Every structure is written in C-alpha cells, then in structure tokens.
Amino acid sequence: MKVDVVNIQGKATGRKLDLPEAVFGVEPNEHAVWLAVKQFLAHQRQGTHKAKERGEIKGSTKKLVRQKGTGGARKGNIKSPLFRGGGRAFGPRPRTYTIKLTKKVRRLAKFSALSVKAAEGNLMVIEDFSFDAPKTKAFEDILSSLELRGKKTVLVTGEAESSIVRSGKNIDKVSVTRAEDLNTYGIMNNDTILLCEGAVEKLRSMYC
C-alpha cells in the first residue's frame, strides 16, 4: 500500500511511501480489537477500592434485643449492615483488573486497527520534523495546514521527541507517542493517525 508523503505545510512532496502490508493491510479482526481495548481500559483501574464489613467496624458485639418476644425483627449487634454506621454487606475489596492477552492477539489487534484507519483514509504520513524548543503555536500551524484542527489526532514519531511532546501537550484532542508505544486503544480512540516517516520505518523494523 502506497501513500503520499506530505510536508509540515500540508503540501504533497511528490514522494510515496510503501506501507508494509503485514501491518497496514491485514484482514481486521474485530474481536481482537475489542479484547485489546478492554485490556487497556481495565489496566487503567487501580483496584484499591475498599469498604469495611461488619467484622472490621468498631462497636459492641452485644445483642441489641432478645431473640423472641419483641414483636419486631431479630437484631444482632450494632455492626450489622442493617443499621446506620454498620459494616457494608459484600462491599468492594482490593483486587486487580489485569487481563492477560497473548502477544499474537495484541499484535493482531494493533495491525487490525491500523489497517482499518488506512482503509478508511484516516491515516497520513508526514515528513520527519522537530522543534529546537517547545512551540505550541508552530504545532498548531502544522495541524491547521493538514486540516486537522479540532480533530482527535495522534502524532506517531519514530523516536522520542521531547520538544514535540511538550509542544502538543496544551492542544486539545492531540496526543504524541512513539511508534513502539502505540497501542490499539490509542489508534481507535483518535480520528486520524499522523505518522512520521521515521515511525513507519520503526514499525517496519519491529514487525516485518
């Protein structure tokens, strides 16, 4: 699959880049994508929730009223979940939400997501660029030239570019990541995938 390479002014350079079919041209597997997104969201949960149950509440264990003859319901002690200030019945306990997926499934999900974006025309390749210092205005100008202002966009770089990352931090709906950190959720959660040429070569070397 060949795509046009554009520059930071949004103009075609006249060059085409060949995207590896093994990454951008696979048959999409929706279930694998669903599993990968589910895993990502599950891993965002800390799992530190905790509520005290009746065995952990301070209070007397004396039986409140006799078992029979009061005309009312039976009552245990003041720590019962039925009373205000009592322990909670079946409350949440600390747990892990980790979901395990094989490397093969994770890769299939990522390739499926990239293939869908490429097939829909929501994937662009841009020449490698960098900033001498963080420049939010310059980053916004690039987005405007590419007609991506206001669209959820992830810029994928080949290597870590701290100046680019810091330039895009304050821009709404824009994120910057390295090719090796790109995940299925990040692909599916954005309208457009903006790949630097170095990112394509990085993906090629990692998976082909």
Report whether pLDDT(1) > 90. Answer: no
Q: Do the Cβ atoms of 156 and 177 come closer than 8 Å?
A: yes
List the helix and strand counts (H, then E) for the chain: 7, 6
- The pTM is what? 0.85
- The structural domains of the chain, with segments of one domain joined by +, span 2-45+98-207, 53-96
Q: What is the pLDDT of residues 64-105, one digit of tens each?
A: 999 999 999 999 999 999 999 999 999 999 999 999 999 999
Helix (H, G, I), strand (E, B) or coil at 177: strand
- CATH T-level fold of 2-45+98-207: Ribosomal Protein L4; Chain: A; (3.40.1370)
d(CA 26, CA 196) in angstroms, rounded, equals 21
Q: Which residues contact 129 (CB under 8 A, 6 or more apart)?
A: 8, 142, 164, 196
Q: What is the pLDDT of residues 32-74, one digit of tens each?
A: 999 999 999 999 999 999 999 999 999 999 999 999 999 999 9
Q: Do the Cβ atoms of 176 and 152 come closer than 8 Å?
A: no
Angle between helices 103-120 and 30-43 (to 10 degrees): 110
Region 169-186 average pLDDT: 94
Helix (H) or strand (E) holding 151: none
